[in-house]
Structure 1
Amino acid sequence: MKKIQWKPLLVSLLISLGTGAVSAFLASDSMEKYSSLYKPPLAPPGWVFPVVWNILFILMGVAAYIIYESDAPGKAQALKLYGVQLLVNALWSVIFFRFDAYLLAFAWLLLLWYLVCLTIKQFKDINETAARLLIPYLVWLTFAGYLNLAIAVHYIF
């Protein structure tokens, strides 16, 4: 087992957690907004979201670090795709909470889900553990998609 390279690990964690922080800042009233929205069955209380997202961003950061530290030829492409999905992730909150564009946010979430699937595949080609660290993220996005679509349908009809 390779020795942990702390600086790249911390940078990777800062990038992933920083994405979450920027997203939260751009949609700063999201928790207040969430409390006033229609809640479909299984919708968690608002405090669950920052807890889950912080855990997921840590897992993402560790996964990206594992890929960064690998010697695989496809690592640059995999990390670029990872960066793109982070950007798409950060913008979802803006679309949903700032613009109240629930249906567009759902379409955006489908794009994010697809990008995460591609990222998992590319990570898997390099390191199985890194890919597995992204599975909880994909599961959460699937659940978020259910919530997003239910809210969109409620307000459309």
Structure 2
Amino acid sequence: MRKTGVDNRISTGGIVAVYGAFFLVCILIAITGGIANSYGLASWYPALTKPWFNPPNWVFGPVWTVLYGMIAVAGARYVLSPAREKEPTLALYTAQLALNAAWSWVFFYGQAMGAAIAVIVALWFAIAGTIAFGWNKDRLASLLLIPYLAWVSYATLLNVAIWRLNG
């Protein structure tokens, strides 16, 4: 094993390809979510009553840009880790990506705030599980997901508050 925590059987080109693939997947998730968001942001979301702790809309883009970068790096690191039995970590990582994409479609496109709570709670558990199962595989990768878990915790509170104020 090299000092980088990467399986020494993987070439430099392979490492670059893995990171590139994870960045591409995260960009596609962001684009997919953005498309869903555009349906709700047009007229539905602005008309909702929001709690006092709702951030201005401009905050979401920069925050998610940084988080998606961290999510991509974490995923690549888990895959490249020389650790054995990575399947639970990678399965949870994949689940959190799918749930991340699904939430925007349920909340903004479907305008189903209650169902979105179920999705975001499942997302929270998938992220927490990825961190826990990945901790001994690649600690830095798990640490990179902690801000994501914190943001999703905040987003969960926001989702519940909006649902309660508008349900």
TM over 0.5: yes
* Long gaps (5+) in structure 2: 7-11
TM-score with structure 2 setting the length:
0.86
Q: Which amino acid aligns with 1:116?
A: I
Equivalence for 2:33: 23
Equivalence for 1:41: 52
Mapping of residues 82-101 of structure 1, within 5 Å: 82-101=93-112
Q: Which amino acid aligns with 2:165?
A: H
Q: Does structure 1 conserve the Cα–Cα contact (< 8 Å) formed by 2:74 and 2:145?
A: yes
Mapping of residues 1-157 of structure 1, within 5 Å: 1-2=3-4, 5-32=15-42, 33-156=44-167
Structure 2 distance, partners of 1:139, 1:123, is: 17
Q: Which has the larger displacement, 5-14 or 81-90?
A: 5-14
Q: Aligned residues: percent identity? A: 32
**Structure with bigger gyration radius:** 2
**Deviation at residue 25 of structure 1 after TM alignment:** 1.8
Q: Which amino acid aligns with 2:35?
A: F
Q: Does structure 2 conserve the Cα–Cα contact (< 8 Å) formed by 1:24 and 1:30?
A: no
How many matched pairs? 156
**Deviation at residue 13 of structure 1 after TM alignment:** 1.1
What RMSD in Å do the two structures reach over aligned CA positions?
1.6
Structure 1 distance, partners of 2:19, 2:36, is: 26
* Long gaps (5+) in structure 1: none
**Deviation at residue 42 of structure 1 after TM alignment:** 1.4
Structure 2 distance, partners of 1:37, 1:155, is: 7
Q: Secondary structure at the match of 2:20?
A: helix
**Deviation at residue 152 of structure 1 after TM alignment:** 0.3
